[in-house]
Amino acid sequence: METEAPLGDANPSGSPSRAADGWLAGTRTSYDTVADSYSDYTREALAKQPYLLAALALFAELVHAIDGGPVADVGCGPGHVTAHLHNLGVEMFGIDLSPAMIDLARREHPDLRFEVGSMTDLQLADASIAALLAFWSLIHIPDYAVPTVFGHFHRVMRPGGPLMLGFHVGDESRLKTQGYGGHPMKVYVHRRQPDQVAAWLRDAGFTVKAQMILDLDQSVPGAILFAYRQP
């Protein structure tokens, strides 16, 4: 069972005056708590999502088209998607805010590189990666911090490199208090319209190339955006 509550006055998405350490710490602790259950929940999920598999296959082809290079899965969780792209021939490594998730990813995928880190302060050298994936990890970043995150993505990517984002579609932010095996959580989930995310990407120096909307008839559709880092 997963429980979400409307944020109301507690919504941190609009103002940087809300302490960043608060929502970051809550996200980190929440995913440390649910790491094992989350991994079990998601381990076979991708195999049942043909449209996501097709999108990831396209992303792999885009990376191969630029002659490859290291690719970061930012917000990698237990590393299942990282490993999937690795199996498609992409030079993947993963970064996640949760140390427990990174420990689990290293155990389950010992042949891959995983690091603890935050997309709000990405510790990668300028122009050091060929491409970047953020697969439903941006959903925990408040609105005011998204331009900073996209600025880091632009900084660490090589010119012309592809970017793939996946996120929930909607117009609200909610506080998730329980999930993945019934464990307590305190993590904010932000649903956004693709046009808004695309506008932030353009402002950060990306060219948006394609958009996919998934599960249109569900209460919370998903979106995939493909973009390129401008020269």
Least confident of 2-6, 46-50, 54-58, 174-178: 2-6
Given this model, what pLDDT does residue 44 score?
A: 82
Residue 16 confidence (pLDDT) above 50: no
Band of pLDDT at residue 97, cut at 50, 70 and 90:
very high
Q: What is the mean pLDDT of residues 78-100?
A: 97
**Length reported for the chain:** 231
Mean pLDDT of the region 198-217: 97
**Number of structural domains found in the chain:** 1
DSSP string, 79-147: SHHHHHHHHTT-EEEEEES-HHHHHHHHHH-TTSEEEE--GGG----TT-BSEEEEES-GGGS-GGGHH
What's the token pair of residue 59?
A: 């992303």
Q: Mean per-residue pLDDT for 214-218?
A: 94
The pLDDT of residue 181 is 65
pLDDT of residue 2: 34
pLDDT, the chain, mean: 89
Tokens linked to 78 = 């237990």
Q: pTM for the full model? A: 0.89
Per-residue model confidence as pLDDT tens digits over 131-178: 999 999 999 999 999 999 999 999 999 999 999 999 999 999 988 887
Looking at residue 20, what is its pLDDT?
54
pLDDT of residue 7: 38
For residue 194, the one-letter residue type is P
Instruction: Provide the residue range defining the domain that includes 22.
Output: 3-178+187-229
- Predicted confidence at residue 39, as pLDDT, reads 73
CATH number at residue 127: 3.40.50.150
Question: Is residue 119 predicted with pLDDT exceeding 80?
Answer: yes
